[in-house]
Structure 1
Amino acid sequence: MTYSSNTPVQPILWLGVFGTIMGRVYAIPIGGLPYIDYITPGVLLQSTIFVSVFYGLTIVWERETGILKRLLVAPTSIYATVIGRSVASGVRAVVQALIIFPVAILLGGELLPRP
């Protein structure tokens, strides 16, 4: 696995560095919304999609190296292997999102829409 897909360091840097700096510049017209509120959904999507892509690439790499053939002869169904890999990717993405949400709130972001 790569470093950026395993840790929430990159998304936290996006929020902490770019979110706070660009929020003070006022160069992007976002309709009076704080920039942290504007950037947080994109950062969450970016991090969860990267986790999914890297897990998909891992399966391709395992297929090319022959590890997947050895894995598929195990006494479990192919569907269990695929679902297990998908659930592992989903759990990692959810854990990363659960780390990013409090960081965004600590930086002053409001994640619930105002009435």
Structure 2
Amino acid sequence: MINDNRAHELIVSGIHLDLTPSLKTYVQEKSDRLFRHEERIVRLRVEVECDPKQTPAQRFTAKGHIEIHGPDMNASVTTDECHKAVSLLVDKLDRMLRRRSRFFKVKRHRTTLPEFNPGLLPDPI
């Protein structure tokens, strides 16, 4: 699914789970927030997994992989409901993108010049 004629790409897949159209649209609506906050995202891959052997509190796992200019980001969330897992995953990826953005902003504005101490210089002749 291509988003708004841009280079953004969203891939939704289900593992041991049938993806319903409502779940696909839910993932797309939630992931639009990520595309709005960061324009350099090339591809977002969301995998929703259902493991019936796990306890009911850890049955659904949502994994997100963001391909971005720079190092890729991966996150995973495990909960008891599918929609809740997707929502928590998008929140986690959003926090990761904000932290990355703040890191680059601080790095860009950091002064790297050493402190100048005139007492250490020799006297002119």
Q: TM-score, with normalisation over the residues of structure 2? A: 0.33
Q: TM-score, with normalisation over the residues of structure 1? A: 0.35
Task: Name whichever structure is richer in helix by fraction.
Answer: 1
